[in-house]
Amino acid sequence: MNLQNGQKFCQTTRNLFWGLALVICLMIAACMATEKNPEVIKEDDRPNILWLVLEDTSPTLAPYGDTTIDTPNISRLAEEGITYTNVYSPSGVCSPSRASLALGMYPSAIGANHMRTTSHTDVTGLPAYEAVPPPQAKMLSQYLRSDGYYTTNNYKTDYQFKAPKNAWDESGVFAHWRNRPQGKPFFSVVNFTTTHESGLFEPYGFRKIESRHYFSDDAERIAKLPTHPMDKTAEYSTAIHVPKDADFPIPPYLPDTPVVRRDMWKMYNNLAEADRQIGAVLAQLREDGLLEKTVIFLYSDHGGPLPRQKRLIYDSGLKVPLIIRFPNAENTGDMDDQNVSFVDFAPATLSLAGIETPDHMHGNDFILNDKNARRYIHAAADRFDGFTDTIRSVKDKQYKYIRNYRPKQGYYLPVTYREKIPAMQELLRLRDQSNLTPEQAKWFRELKAVDELYDTIADPHELNNLAEDPEYAEVLSRLKKEMDRWLNSIGDDPKLSERTMIAKLWGGEKSRPETAIPEVTIKDGMAALSSPTLGASISYKIIRNNYEPTAWGLYSEPFKVTAGETLQIQAHRIGYHESRIKLHPIP
């Protein structure tokens, strides 16, 4: 195996089975937590909030009628909670979706819509850049943290922008709600990567994993940890949860061949493994006596991992599961068919915490204020890695309208990463042999209609374009007007080139703006921090007796300091370069 292939293999293995390491890390963090935070504060009776996040998963679950496999932990959440049946990401790929979750805003409104803004510059010829939300925008975790929540993230952070250092109390594989001061409510995000698209790559299976490898950057800390039975080098064979000859539902846009069936098996097998990992996290919540004090969200970052799912603007790429379990199993087993967008998650979460939704957010609280349920779902598809398209969509509960701004460009984008999937290779092989069915060949057509209209109830795979049918003229006209309204309301101009968009994000500057170094004012033993950069948040640490805390504080108001201490501070407006870190001794 040459070096390049070896690196690719290692990356695939890490992507496939990081979930195993994540569970191990959560277990170790749990062992450490009892010694880490002896601080006790006044009990806050607001609910804890836990987000359990699958990757690349459509609603292929029993609560949604797909009985291909059993996912007992997810099904139990559904039995004790609410299953939402019309939930959508605003993008068919992870980072733009994560931007909308973190900020409560549409990716195409803030420059987060092009996948990977800091890479593929050798192909695009564009400078590396980040999304730039309005100056008043902060991350959801920052709002919660500043209002008393202990916030943790395991472990994904690709939001299309670098998160400020104060975004989380803890972010990484060791982050755990058990590390919080006693009495504080928590907001915790746990990402399960087992179901990721790369989980379909070959070779498929567990490899020799040394869990300590993931902790190599903290060797001294690890050496002091208690021994865990899984914390050793071990050979893991592929965990088979699903029979390989199961009757998998092959969508009509994929060929029913042994290669595709094997990928279907891998997809469901990975989902079953993720369910097992979810069960391990929920077990810790029960052990802590926190199940009935916690609102649990279970969802996916966008649609499925198979070809013509991920990255597409059809429901196969946008529609996701969402199950919410409330304390004491309120609304047990309910189904809710209201339209929900990812931009609604932040307002709903803030509402659960008793925090008012900021005016700049695009979403609505769909949980406590569901009387104002949204009528329309909006989404966008632009550049994916080195390949660019420009598509927008809007849908109600039945009909979806898609507008193609590049009709002379074919639908299929030859994304290298996707072409590692055996089923994708099978599609390309059959295409080259002219052996695809009409449904399978649609993806590879050389031209696109400017307008597409689908009845997503009668035609869930979106294969029959109704835009030219006079019977649907009124529906088409209504959805076109709604799209124009939406684009104007969020300031999204799809005809704008990415280069021009970058210039707008940077306020006409030729390079990414810098956040100004923060300023310190000491008066009567109180430290006040400020930044000349509009919209910058300030992170700080108080260094005492040469001890530097691990976590950065989130500055909100003046705080007490003592002579001999040193302030370590940094300012950061999202999308700008961070300021230089400043050390300020307290005289």
The burial of 126, by beta-carbon neighbours within 10 Å (0-12 exposed, 13-18 middle, 19 or more buried), is given as middle
Pair of tokens at residue 166: 């104060």
In this predicted structure, the answer to whether residue 10 has a pLDDT above a threshold of 80 is no
In this predicted structure, the answer to whether residue 215 has a pLDDT above a threshold of 50 is no
Tens digit of each residue's pLDDT (9 = 90 or more) over 147-157: 999 999 998 99
Active site residues: 94
In this predicted structure, the answer to whether residue 369 has a pLDDT above a threshold of 80 is yes
pLDDT at residue number 18: 54
Task: Please report which confidence band the pLDDT of residue 239 belongs to, taking 50, 70 and 90 as the band edges.
Answer: confident
**Cα–Cα distance measured from residue 200 to residue 262, given in angstroms and rounded to the nearest whole number:** 9
Q: Where are the domains of the chain?
A: 40-205+236-374, 391-505, 519-585
Phi, psi (rounded to 5 degrees) for 370: -75, 0
Q: What is the overall mean pLDDT for the chain?
A: 90
pLDDT at residue number 210: 36
Average pLDDT over residues 240-256: 95
**Cα–Cα distance measured from residue 454 to residue 398, given in angstroms and rounded to the nearest whole number:** 8
In this predicted structure, the answer to whether residue 211 has a pLDDT above a threshold of 90 is no
In this predicted structure, the answer to whether residue 431 has a pLDDT above a threshold of 70 is yes
Residue pair 553/540 in contact (Cβ under 8 Å)? The answer is yes
pLDDT at residue number 21: 62
Instruction: Provide the whole-model pTM.
Output: 0.90
More confident residue, 353 or 36: 353
Residue pair 351/368 in contact (Cβ under 8 Å)? The answer is yes
Average pLDDT over residues 503-527: 96
pLDDT at residue number 370: 73
Q: The tokens 């202990």 sit on which residue? A: 150
- Closest of 172, 236, 176, 171 to residue 210, by C-alpha: 236
Tens digit of each residue's pLDDT (9 = 90 or more) over 286-307: 999 999 999 999 999 999 999 9
pLDDT at residue number 216: 29
Percent of the chain predicted with pLDDT > 90 = 84
How many C-alpha atoms does 471 have within 13 Å on its Cβ side? 5
Tens digit of each residue's pLDDT (9 = 90 or more) over 128-137: 999 999 999 9
Question: What type of residue sits at position 325?
Answer: R
| Four-point Cα dihedral 332, 337, 341, 343, nearest 10 | -50
Percent of the chain as helix, strand, coil, to the nearest 5: 35, 20, 45
- The yes or no reply on domain 40-205+236-374 and CATH 3.40.720.10 is yes
**Cα–Cα distance measured from residue 61 to residue 71, given in angstroms and rounded to the nearest whole number:** 7
Tens digit of each residue's pLDDT (9 = 90 or more) over 258-289: 999 999 999 999 999 999 999 999 999 999 99
Tens digit of each residue's pLDDT (9 = 90 or more) over 567-580: 999 999 999 999 99
**Cα–Cα distance measured from residue 405 to residue 162, given in angstroms and rounded to the nearest whole number:** 30
In words, the CATH class of domain 519-585 is mainly beta
- CA torsion sign for 211, 216, 217, 218 is positive
pLDDT at residue number 232: 32
In this predicted structure, the answer to whether residue 37 has a pLDDT above a threshold of 60 is no
CA gyration radius for the chain? 24
pLDDT at residue number 13: 44
In this predicted structure, the answer to whether residue 4 has a pLDDT above a threshold of 90 is no
β partners of residue 40 = 182
pLDDT at residue number 536: 98
For the chain, count helices (H), then strands (E): 14, 21
CA distances from 195 to 100, 526, 574 (A): 21, 49, 30
| Four-point Cα dihedral 236, 237, 242, 246, nearest 10 | 160
Compute how many other C-beta atoms are within 10 angstroms of the C-beta atom of residue 565.
15
**Cα–Cα distance measured from residue 305 to residue 424, given in angstroms and rounded to the nearest whole number:** 11
**Cα–Cα distance measured from residue 87 to residue 140, given in angstroms and rounded to the nearest whole number:** 19
Tens digit of each residue's pLDDT (9 = 90 or more) over 57-81: 999 999 999 999 999 999 999 999 9
Same fold, 40-205+236-374 and 519-585: no
Residues in the chain: 587
In this predicted structure, the answer to whether residue 38 has a pLDDT above a threshold of 80 is no
Tens digit of each residue's pLDDT (9 = 90 or more) over 169-203: 999 999 999 999 999 999 999 999 999 999 999 99
pLDDT at residue number 231: 31
In this predicted structure, the answer to whether residue 27 has a pLDDT above a threshold of 80 is no
